[in-house]
Each structure stands twice: as C-alpha cells, then as structure tokens.
Structure 1
Amino acid sequence: MLITTAYSRSRVESAAYLILLWFCFASLNSAWMPDVRPDLQAQQDKITASFYGNKTDYFKILDHNDASVLVGAKDVIYNISLHELREISRLEWHSTDADRELCALKGKHEWDCHNYLRVYARLDDGQVLLCGTNSYKPRCRHYAPADEGGTEAGAQRRGHMHYEITRDVEAQGLCPYSPAHNSTYAFADGQLYSATVADFSGGDPLIYRENLRTEQYDLKQLNQPDFVGAIERNGFVLFFFRELSMEFMNFGKAVYSRVARVCKNDRGGPYTHAKSWTSFLKARLNCSVPGEFPFYFDEIQAISPIVESGSKSLVYAVFTTSVNAIPGSAVCAFNVDDILAAFDGDFKSQKDSQSHWLPVQQENVPKPRPGQCVEDSRMLTSIAVNFIKNHPLMESAVPAEHGRPLLTKVNLHHRLTAIAVDPQIRALNGAFYDVIYTGTDDGKVTKFINIMTTHQNASVERLKTVVISEMQVLPVGMAVREMVISSKTNTLVVVSDSTLVTVPLHHCKLIVDCQGCLSLQDPNCAWDQQTHECKNLAGGEHKFGTKSYLQSMNMTRKAAASLCPRLSASPLPGAETVRLVTMAPPASGIGLDEQKLHYANVGALPGVMPTLSEQEQLASADDYGLNAYIDENKITLASVDPEQVMTNLHDPQRSTARVDEVQAASSWSTLYSVFIVCALMSAFIIGSIVGIKCRYCNHESHDASHRNHFSTPTQFGHKHQNSGKDINLLISSNAYASAQKTPNLDLEKDRSHECKNSTEHLEKELPCKTSTLTKVKRTYI
C-alpha cells in the first residue's frame, strides 16, 4: 500500500512538473525573436515583366548591361531586353547526334544530353568565345559576326544572332560537364581562367588557364570544391569556393569557405613543373558571429562583383550553415586589400598525418618567398615550387568587414542563395549607402542596408542592420539563382533555373503616410511635403538640403514621427496614428492576392480614419493593389540585432508579423498568459492538497490499526448497500486505507477480534456475525 500511495503521489507531482515544463518551453518559444523584421512584407511582389523557359533550361547569366542580358540555356543563348524582357535575338548550338547517343550510353538522362551554354567572353578581335557542356563532352567555339546584307544590329532585329564559326575545339577544363555543377570563370587580359572539373565523373577539380592547372588529385590544393565566383584585381585572379577542410580532418569532417589566388603572369615552373601553378595560394574566409566561441557560417554560396564603397573595395558574399545543421544564413563583406594581405602572412602545414596544422616558421620558408608574382616563373628554383605545392594554405583567415556579418538569418524555411548590390546610393543627408539584395531558395528577395551608429556611452561605432523589405518574387519553392540590378530601368532581374522576372528596385509608392515613409529608412525613398507622397529619389528631381523632402536615416521611430507635420500637430501620449487604406485594383491585370501588402510600421488607434480628401487622393494613386490588412500573409524573417531585442518587444513596427495581429496581440497574449499562470497555479495547489491529504490519511489509518477501533467515516469510506452507513474496508482496495505491510487473509477471525474490542455503539451498527468479505460483496455487487 505504501508503494501504491507513493505511485499515486508521484503521478500527481509528475503532472505538475509537466505543466511547469510546458509553461517554460512556451515562454522560451515566445521569447525567441528573429534578428530584424522588415518594414515591408508582401505575399507577391509586383512583377513588371517575365520570361519563361523549360524546367531543365538551367538559366545562367553570361553577360549584361543596362539595356539587355545574355542568358545561357539548353542549346541556345538568349539576348533579352531588360525593358520588358523581350527576346531580341538568339544563337542556337545543338549537340550532334553522335554526342547525344554517346551521352545516353554513359547512363545520363535525356535532358542531360544537350548542350548547356555556360561560358561566354568577348575577345579582343571582336569575336565571341562560347563554351557548352555538349552532352557531357564540353566544347568551345569562336564566333565572328556575319555580314548578311547589313549590320549585326540589323541581323539581331530579324530574330537571330548571325555569326560564323571560326574555331571549334574541346573544352576539357574550361567548361563543366554538367549544367548543375558549381563552376565559375573569369576572362582577363585575353585569357580564360576557369574553375571546374576535368573529367566525366567530376572527381578531378581544377583551376585552369591555358596549360597551367592545380595539381591533380592533390587534396591539399583542392578537396571536393564547389566554386561560386571569380574576380580579377591588381594582377591577380581570385576564386571563391567551399571545400572539405584538410586541417580539420583529424577532428572530423567540415566544410570551409576559401579564397584562392593566382598571378596573371604565371608561366609555370621549371622542368617537370611546367604545367603547374607557381603562385596558387588559398586562405579561409571568416564569416562568423564574434564572441568567446564564434559561430561560423562556413559554406559560401554566392559573391557580388567588386563594389567600390567609398575608399574601400568590397566583395559581398552569402554564407550558410551546413545542410544538416540549424538553417542559418549570413551576408559578409570582405575588403580586397584584406584578402591580398592574407597571402602575405604565414604558411600553414602539417608535419605528419597525426599532427596538428601549425604555422611554418620563418626560417623554414625559402627565399625569395614562394608564391609571389615574378617576371618569369620558369626561372624559379625547384625548392620554391615544391614548397608552394606542399604549403598552399595560409595560416591567417580573411576577416570580415566590421568583424561580423552584415545580416544574419535563422529560418527553418529558407536559406540565402544569391546576392546583388546597388552601390553608393546617396541619401538626402549626403551619406552613401550600399543597398544589398539577397535571394533565397524559396523565391524571396530581401532588401537591407547597414548603418554605422555611435553608442550613447562610448565613441565606438557599431553596425546596425536595417531590413527594408522582404518580397515573394518567385513561386514558393523556386530558388533564386542569380540577380542583376538594372539602374537604367530601375528594376531587379531575378533568375531561377527556368524563369526570368523583373521587379521594382524600390517600393516607395506603396507607403501612404509620412511616418511609414520615414520609418522605412530606404535611402531611395523620401516624403514629399507638397504632394504628400512617398517618392522614389532614384533618377528623379529632388532638392537636397531643402524642406521639400523628408527622410529619416538612423533615427528612432518616435523621432521619425516627430518630423511629420500631421503626426506632430496633435500627438497623443504613447500612441501613434494609423490610416487604413485600400487602393483601387491595378489596371495591369495583376490579382489583388498578389499585390496585398503587410505594412508593419503602424500602430492602431480606434476611430482614426482618412478624410474624404485623403481617400480621393489615395484612390487615384499608383497601379499597386494595396491591402494592408490581410490574414493570409505571414512575415517569415530572420535576423537579430542584439542591441534592440528588448526595445523591439515593445515596438509594433519590429515585434509584429501582421497588422491584424497588432490589433489582437495585446488581448490574446494577456488571456493566454493568464490562462497559463492559472493552470500552473491550479496544478500546484491541487498537487499540494492531494499530497497533504495522502499524508493525513496514511497517518490516521496507521493510528486506527493500533487503537483497534473504527474511526469516524472519512471520504475514503464506502456506504453499506443495506444500512446506508459508512464503513471502512479492511482490505487494501484504496491506496490510502491502511499502512499494513502483510495482508491478513483470515477475514472472519480478524473481524471477530475487532468486534470484541469495539464499543457498544459500533457493535449495534456493524454486527460481528457478518464477515467483512460478505459486506464487501454486498457493497460492490
């Protein structure tokens, strides 16, 4: 019975503990905040133009300018106008029947056995270099413009690019075998630098130019790399990629991001090293959240071209965590000078397979220093060439600009895949900002900027991330592969495997009030006090330094609201006005469901509605279908500014995901919290009462067994079926009835013994002639 009593008590206590744990986890879940919430969120962005292909086209941007873009696809290269994404002309190149049959015999699918155009370059003599996979047998061609009764532009207007083939060669090492392989290239000084694979199976990665390549099957130089980009700078060609880390092999398997460097004037080494690089070096890219134990984003996914940001030359890159880790993404910027400086540091080596990787002592480095660019690398000594072959890795990693990521996102539904930068956008205050666009693998595009702030109690500048918008550009589940900014058309070209779409670079016209326009903190947007509109300053006429336009950069929301005349005329303490506006449906045929917008920069005041003149003005606004209050859209975001987490909890602009949630957040959250607290308190009170009762009953039962008489009927007693009186059962049917260790099976004898020692009153109430077992049967039958 003691075991039964303890078990029942433990069940009650376990239930109370489970409720407590559930409450704690619910509190932690509600406290988990994304890094930075965007000010604009739409279910579907306005697509100004689109160009569709097949699912297996594997679109790749080969070249672009402000007017057109060249897109490599399956068996064709498209010349597409950026105005309406209209096809201007095309150049077709199909694989031969023999190459397709051979590809099929090697076990490839039908869609693999086509010619996917991956490499494009304009040569100095006016010709064009074009390379394709050619059904897993890469080839390159040189094309010269053909004269067919007119100019090249006239031929393109007739729908085709007319070129003559001047050269057709194999492209092993210049072009990938598969369109899905991560390869890259750079064309510099009339020569093609490629980073791809050199065999059918993809097991021989290399960085190649003319007759020079990295060492074959040398894991110290390249260990299963995925190349993401290449740029040229100061006599060097830089390659960005991720690979399995050799220096981590003794501890497990890890992927690190790298940047490799080769000299453009490298001619190879002497003797047997004539076809080997003498200047190939690589270093790790450090994109991590700083701290005592830094959190690394180790896998680079994409880079931007070199951006001249003031006095610095920056390369912006997208990083992610590994595929089997918590989904996280980050954007880091690297100074080109820091990248080149890393290759002047110490070399890193391993004494043997069981040793740690350590820096090479200076006295062990040959002189002159290996890996430098020299006039004729063929004159180098074999010692220098062998040293650089065995020590390609640098000890120091390339630090990120500002020492931390510019943007971090932790989201279970998507990762960052692409990046584009609109550099040095001038705001009204005269400052310049790099506006960064990032694409995700579920079709979203996030726009953000970075602002340097000064802490109140210190003069140290800190990095502040301002996420301006996050728009659904492609269908959900369709990954963004590349993005291109067209300043002339003021559009962003978003590319997937089978689709090209253009969306506006700015969404200023979607904002309908002054406070929202200023809270957006977009350097392209400003509030026009004369027309009472949020206007785009890019390419338009505006007056810098005058009162015609208002703009808020690096200001709090309350400070931005104080700049607006309407909001500061009659302010209410602790409240902010809001306008509920539904604009007319667009005339372009785009559905309202695609144009519904969530604007999170507002707080709700009951009874505040736009005047009649305001409604007439807003009804004649732009062709965007705007509905700021919808239930279908959800803000999915992720990036956190630790400095503002507590502030954001009380800021409707930062802490709400939908506008309808802003109206119901306080009431439902209060009811939810009260319910949880009440449930928790009730569980503890019930558990305490039951525990006290259990202990009390056990004590009473124990005393009764010693006194040899029946105590007063308790809540555990049972009424006799005939007499209606309460009796205590001597058998242990109830866990709290008795503390007797050994059951007494002689029920008649025990009963008579107790009856003899009982009082006269109890003898009248309970005759001794009737056994306990008989009364139990009468009670339960």
Structure 2
Amino acid sequence: MDRGGQLRLCALFCFAIATLRGFMVSEETAHQIVDATKLGLHFDGSHKNQDSFKVLARQDEFLLIGARNTLYNISVENFSHVQSLNWPSTKENTEECLMKGKNEDDCQNYIRLYARNLDGTFIVCGTNAYKPLCRLYYAEQENEYKVLREFHAAGVVPYDAEHNSTYVYNPETQEMFSATAADFATLDPLIYKRDMTKKEDLGLRTNRYDKKILNEPSFVASFKIEDYVYFWFREATYEQRGCGKAVYARVGRVCSHDHGHARRKDTWTSFVKAPLNCSAPGEFPHYFDELVATSESIPGSNSLSDSRLLYAVFNSPSSIIPSSAICAFSMHDVKQVFEKSEFKVRHNTGMRHLPRYPSAVLASATVKPGFCVNDSRLLSDDIVNFVNNNPLLNDAIPNVFESPLFVHLGYSGSFTQIAVDAKVKGLDGHEYDVVFVGTDNGKVLKMLNTAVDSRNVKSNLIEVINVFADNSVVTGLFIYHPKNSNRSASSGKLIVVSSKEIRLLPLFHCSEARDCWSCLKLQDPYCAWDTQAERCVGQSSWKKSKLNLLQNVRRPMPNVRACPSGSSKVAKAESLDGILQKDFVPANLEPAGGSTSGQSDGCACNDLESSPFRSSRHDPEIVKETYRSDAFAVAIPLTFLISSILGFLFGYKCRMSRLLKKKGLPTKDQLAGNVYYQNNPAVISTVKTAVNSSKAASTVPQIGLCDTLPKLSTSSQQHSGLQLKSMSGYNTLPKSHLVKKVYV
C-alpha cells in the first residue's frame, strides 16, 4: 500500500473511531465487575466428553438440552438432572463416518432438534455420525421411551453438529420449517418445509446450488408470526461488481402454507429476503453486517414502537476495526419492508443488482411475489420465475434507533449471544429493557437501554460478569422467570451456555455494592438501597411498601443528597476515582440530615436540575468516562500512525542493508566503525581515482532501488592510472579494493 493509501486508511480509521465512541462500551466503563465463576448452579453432563450442549426447548421449569448421544431434561429451579434419553449412533454408521475422514468426536450422534406434538409424542433428531436421523418417541413411563418411527433427516438437521442451523415447528400441522445444510460437505444450504407425519416427504425447499437464493449462509434464528415464517441469517454476496466478496445480514420470509408450484412442486414460490441495516451514522457510515445472534421478540415500548422488538448482535467484518454492536428492529418495520419494498433485479447475467428496476411482470401481477395466496399452485410461471431469480428486496430494514445501542471495539470480547429482560419496572415507574450479552471470552455484559425515543440513544454498562473460568465462548443465553409469578417479586434466572457447561445465575448482584453510593451508582433497575437495613437489595427482597428504598436509573451519577448522611457506610463510600463522596458536596450545601428545605433524611430527591452534578464539569465519573473515551479515540489512531511510520522506516533500512550486502558494499555502520576504511591511504586514493574516472562513464546502469554504479569504458580504464582486470557485467572495482564513498 502506498503512503497515500495508508493516510486515507488512517483517516477512515480515525473517523470510524470518532463516530463510534459516543456509544462504545468496555469493561473499564462498567459500574461493577462480578466474579461468578463459582456462583450459582452448573450442569456439565457426563464430565468426560465434549458434550457440545445446545438448549433445544424450554417447557415450564424444565430445559431440554441436546448433547453428545444424549437428550437431557433438567430442572431450572435447582439444575438437577430429571431425565435423559440416550441415543448413540450404530457401529456401522460410526465406521462409515470414520472412513469418510471424520474423527471420533465428529462421528457421534449430537442431538440437535426436539419438538413436542399435541398428543404427547415428541420428535428427536440428531447428526447420527454425519447421517442425520429422526425418531418419533412416546414416553411409556419415567426414563422409558418407545420408538414409534424412524426416518432420514437430511435437510431437517445438519450433518455437522457445529453448523449454524435453526428450525420452527408447528405442532398443529406437524410441519417442520428448518434452515440448515442438506449434504455432507455443507455445500447445499436450504430453507426447508417438511410434513413430519410422513416417513418420506419431498416437502418444499429453496433452489439447489443457487447463490441468488442462499450463498454460504449462517442461520441465526427463526420464528413464525401469523402466516409467515421468518429466518434471520448472514450470507456472502457479490452485489456490487468489482467490490469483491462481502457478508451481509438478511431476513428471509416464506409463507407457511405455500404448496409449491404446479411445475415445480418441491420449490418455494414465496421465498424473499431483505437486508438489515445496523450502522453508525455519519457522512461515511460504519456498517455492522455480520449478524451473529438475536433475542426473542419482546413487547415494544409505546414511545419507540407499538409492535414487538427484536434485539440483534452484529460484528463488523473489517479486520482493521474489529467491532461488535447491538441494534434493535421492530416487527412492524420488517413487515413494512416486505410489503412495500421493490425488488433488486439482476441486470442481464451479471452480478450487479439494479434497485427499483421496472418490470412488466410486477406491473401485471395481482399479488406481489412473496405474499401468501390461497393456492400457490395456481400462480403464473412468470411470477414464480421472477421471485426465484430476484428474491432480494431493495429497501433495508432499519434500526429502531438512529445508532447502535452499544458498540465494542477489539478482538477479544466480541459479542456472541443476547437475551433481553423486557420492561423491568423501576421505582420511578418507568420500564426498562435490561440487555444481557455473551462474549467470546466467557463473560456476560449486563447493559441497560434507557432510550426514550429513536434519536436519544442512552445506555450504560451496569456490570461485567465473569461466568466461565476457562473463558469458553458463550453459545447460548436465556432468561427464565417462573410461570404465573409476579415478575417484580420473582427471582429471575440467567441461563448461560457454553459447549461443555451450563450455568444458572441470578439476574442481579446487588449485594456486591457495599454502600448507598455504590448501589445508586449501578443504575440497575433490579437494585435499590434499603435505608432501614442499610444494604443494596434486589427486587425479590423488596417489600410492598417501597418508601424506604432509594434507586437511581436514569442519572449518570446519583444525587449525593439522596443517600442518608447519617449512615456510617455512606461515609466510607468512594467514587471510582478513589475520592470520598463528601469531597464533591459544595461547601454551601447542607447535608441531607440538616437540610432546611423540609426534606426528610430518607427522601430521594427527584428534582434532577437541583443536583450539584448536573454539569459534567462537577461530576467526577462523567469527567473520567469522557476522558477515557477521548483518550481512547485519540490513542488508537495515533498508535496506528506511529507504528506505520516506524514500520516503514525499519523496513526501508532493512531493505537498503540487504541490497548493500548483496553487492558486497560496506554499510553505513561499517564505514563509521571500521578503522580500515577511515585510515587506509591506499583505499582513499583508490576511491578518489575511481570517482574521477567515473565522470567519463558512458552509461549508468540501474543497480538497486535507488543507487547506481558507473560502468567504466575501455578508454577510461587506460587513462585512469588503474590496472583493472576485465570484468563481465558492470566492470566495477575488484573485491580486493574497498570503497569508502562514491560521488556521482
């Protein structure tokens, strides 16, 4: 890369950092860090093997967990092992798998699907040593199950246990909607619908090996709403000619009662897909295109969206600025894009898409392609061919907010999973979404979304929870509330999954805050300071009467007058800067206990403007966090620039040194440190004579990157006074003569 390219790249890097820093999160900005590696309950299966856990279903207070050769049923209340179903692969299937080049761990039966029917029977499917298989079971009695039917499951579950797949099951119709790969080499990705009551059923699928439909997809989530099934995934694409391969986030949709076409009975007539937009705003937006995980759809806030919301985790594909972000999407916006957006149409046979391309097919259609119809078999050939050739919509589904809620920069700690506890009610009467995010280094970040509208994006990092001692990747994250319980008084649970361990943790760690100041500073809607008990308590400990509770959620720093000044624990409270709370109280401000304003000692001041910390200049934590963000924004591009310059200089010096050694010439360091070069008259005389003779040189051949040596002609050899031997090539001085300097 030339210097101009490096400078442009650095400028882009600096701009991206400046754009993102407004909503960046890091462990340093967390209000508290909790070591939970030895807290809560855990489940690790057989203890011996790599179980590759995956939570398949939640039924009331039970978890159904797919693992190596086993389906576990465990209780969420105490994480006890209730039941298990063992189903290993046969010896023949295992040997065949090994012959195909897979190892012993691969050639096991990893359970990857569980679906329960209305009649009490249930379907279990596994990878079966790279030969997917399903069984229909019936529970005769505890831990005794009868196999009613067995059938092949290619297209229902993946061959590879680590493949990113997803499924939706409709127990009323017993139809399975799956998104996976249908072959051994995972080269045939598909979205598939199958009637599970039939042993052999072609079903409906996307076109085989058609990159317009699915191109190296990684499926993330799926769910059914009304007549449609939605699939969230990322895929490779070549939408722009000459721009190379890129990865984009998509939402695909099919009609649940699509019956195929009269001419192609096994192919969808309703599959369409739309892009997702999660980006940092600016003149040059920074895009997060790699969809990694989604939350379950949750009730939306009236001020943001009346429809349901879905939070999603994205990564940036850039290797220069590795980053993760969280955006939210309204199902209303999703439906609007599928209903109103025009299609991107391929121009001729090229890879380029043209948006809003006029088409006679669409103009004459009575129903937009991709919509549910009474009988898809009656659709015209033109409509079906059009939607199969052009499944991509032009408009992107927008982020509910104008910017990502949270952004993380760096290689370590990338976001991997997300779960949201929606509408957690604080003491101020407002409802908040508490967002839990799993990372690739075994941690869970607990964040709070306090945005009141799409423009005013406000969030904070409440705490960082160290979950797995070995820093295992968080592969699953779920929130559990007891059924038919009062959520405000219940002890909810956080379920954290890795490939070899499942942990059960509380949703809050209020007791980690040892004083009033620290408790209020958490900005955690689960936590409040009990002025009578003088401790930070969680929602499950709140009494009906909340007059003795203090809480701070919206303020970046709590009002110092909120905490009772008579508490000995408050007197010991320290801010993050290590300075006592009393040091920030203005001299002319009376303590809460001696106030003449009529406020009681336990009164939490609700007048936000009366806070002495309303200005960031007086707020030590805001000043500190602002300083951190500013320093971070400057330090990273500056380090990048300095390292680039030093790398260039070092590389240039090494290059010149190699060239000189290759030509047998002394380097600058040798000239400076060798007495022979400095004090030998013969050498100096030889060099001066050679320099004078070089003026008559007829040609000056190029030797290296930027240095030349004269080529001596026959006449110059005769008049120079030097007896030079005939040399092929450049006729330079013989090796016995050492040159100190050469002048041109």
Match 1:201 to one of 185, 206, 226: 185
Aligned position for 1:172 = 154
Structure showing greater relative contact order (alpha-carbon pairs closer than 8 Å, 6 or more residues apart): 1
Q: Secondary structure at the match of 1:566?
A: coil
Cα deviation code 1:441-471 (max 9, x no counterpart): 00010001111259xxxxx951101111111
Residues in 1 aligned to 2:466 and 2:562: alpha-carbon distance in whole angstroms: 32
Aligned position for 2:328 = 333
Cα deviation code 1:362-411 (max 9, x no counterpart): 65514122211011111111111111111100000000111221111112
Shift of 1:44: 4.3
Aligned-residue Cα RMSD (Å) equals 3.1
The one-letter amino acid of 2:217's match is: P
Residues in 1 aligned to 2:327 and 2:136: alpha-carbon distance in whole angstroms: 38
Aligned position for 2:280 = 289
1:349 paired to 2:345: yes
Residues in 1 aligned to 2:93 and 2:576: alpha-carbon distance in whole angstroms: 56
Shift of 1:326: 2.4
Question: 1:632-647 maps to which residues of 2 (within 5 A)?
Answer: 647=616
Aligned position for 1:256 = 248
Say whether the 8 Å CA contact 1:48–1:84 is kept in structure 2.
Answer: no
Shift of 1:178: 0.7
1:506 paired to 2:508: yes
Aligned position for 1:35 = 24
Cα deviation code 1:537-584 (max 9, x no counterpart): 24743435xx32111121241x532211218x99xxxxx96437xxxx
Question: 1:274-673 maps to which residues of 2 (within 5 A)?
Answer: 274-310=265-301, 311-322=306-317, 324-344=319-339, 345-352=341-348, 353=350, 355-361=352-358, 363-365=360-362, 366-368=364-366, 369-452=368-451, 462-488=456-482, 489-538=491-540, 540-543=542-545, 547-557=547-557, 559-566=558-565, 578-579=572-573, 600=576, 603-604=579-580, 647=616, 651-652=620-621, 655=624
Residues in 2 aligned to 1:514 and 1:579: alpha-carbon distance in whole angstroms: 8
Q: Secondary structure at the match of 1:243?
A: strand
Aligned position for 2:258 = 266
Say whether the 8 Å CA contact 2:342–2:395 is kept in structure 1.
Answer: yes
Residues in 1 aligned to 2:623 and 2:35: alpha-carbon distance in whole angstroms: 18
Q: Secondary structure at the match of 2:520?
A: helix
Residues in 1 aligned to 2:57 and 2:429: alpha-carbon distance in whole angstroms: 33
Moved more, 53-62 or 103-112: 53-62
Shift of 1:335: 0.5
TM-score by length of 1: 0.67
Residues in 1 aligned to 2:384 and 2:231: alpha-carbon distance in whole angstroms: 21
TM-score by length of 2: 0.70
Aligned position for 1:97 = 91
The one-letter amino acid of 1:504's match is: P
Q: Secondary structure at the match of 1:401?
A: coil
Cα deviation code 1:715-772 (max 9, x no counterpart): xxxxxxxxxxxxxxxxx99xxxxxxxx99xxxxxxxxxxxxxxxxxxxxxxxxxxxxx
The one-letter amino acid of 1:186's match is: V
Residues in 2 aligned to 1:136 and 1:385: alpha-carbon distance in whole angstroms: 34
Q: Secondary structure at the match of 2:308?
A: strand
The one-letter amino acid of 1:478's match is: S
Q: Secondary structure at the match of 2:109?
A: coil
The one-letter amino acid of 2:193's match is: R
The one-letter amino acid of 1:206's match is: L
| Unaligned segments of structure 2, at least 5 residues | 1-13, 195-202, 483-490, 585-612, 629-677, 680-687, 690-744
Say whether the 8 Å CA contact 2:556–2:622 is kept in structure 1.
Answer: no
Structure 1 pair 539/490, CA: closer, same or farther in 2 (3 Å)? farther
Structure 1 pair 75/556, CA: closer, same or farther in 2 (3 Å)? closer
Question: 1:135-174 maps to which residues of 2 (within 5 A)?
Answer: 135-147=129-141, 155=142, 161-174=143-156
Structure 1 pair 96/505, CA: closer, same or farther in 2 (3 Å)? same
Cα deviation code 1:497-525 (max 9, x no counterpart): 00011122101111122122112111111
Residues in 1 aligned to 2:572 and 2:452: alpha-carbon distance in whole angstroms: 29
Question: 1:162-241 maps to which residues of 2 (within 5 A)?
Answer: 162-188=144-170, 189=172, 190-210=174-194, 211-241=203-233
Say whether the 8 Å CA contact 2:414–2:439 is kept in structure 1.
Answer: yes
Q: Secondary structure at the match of 2:573?
A: coil
Shift of 1:267: 0.6
1:124 paired to 2:123: no
Structure 1 pair 564/602, CA: closer, same or farther in 2 (3 Å)? farther
Q: Secondary structure at the match of 1:318?
A: strand
Residues in 2 aligned to 1:517 and 1:537: alpha-carbon distance in whole angstroms: 13
The one-letter amino acid of 2:270's match is: S
Say whether the 8 Å CA contact 2:342–2:355 is kept in structure 1.
Answer: no
Shift of 1:32: 8.3
The one-letter amino acid of 1:359's match is: R
Residues in 1 aligned to 2:145 and 2:353: alpha-carbon distance in whole angstroms: 57
Residues in 1 aligned to 2:280 and 2:260: alpha-carbon distance in whole angstroms: 40
Say whether the 8 Å CA contact 2:23–2:407 is kept in structure 1.
Answer: no
The one-letter amino acid of 1:309's match is: G
Q: Secondary structure at the match of 2:496?
A: strand
Say whether the 8 Å CA contact 2:443–2:471 is kept in structure 1.
Answer: no
Residues in 1 aligned to 2:351 and 2:256: alpha-carbon distance in whole angstroms: 36
Shift of 1:118: 0.1
Residues in 1 aligned to 2:131 and 2:35: alpha-carbon distance in whole angstroms: 43
Structure 1 pair 531/346, CA: closer, same or farther in 2 (3 Å)? same
Say whether the 8 Å CA contact 2:361–2:383 is kept in structure 1.
Answer: no
Residues in 2 aligned to 1:34 and 1:604: alpha-carbon distance in whole angstroms: 28
Say whether the 8 Å CA contact 2:136–2:147 is kept in structure 1.
Answer: yes
Say whether the 8 Å CA contact 2:236–2:245 is kept in structure 1.
Answer: yes
Aligned length: 555
Residues in 2 aligned to 1:94 and 1:440: alpha-carbon distance in whole angstroms: 32
Cα deviation code 1:26-83 (max 9, x no counterpart): xx99x98982411011344552111124552110001124522111000001111223
1:58 paired to 2:52: yes
Shift of 1:238: 0.4
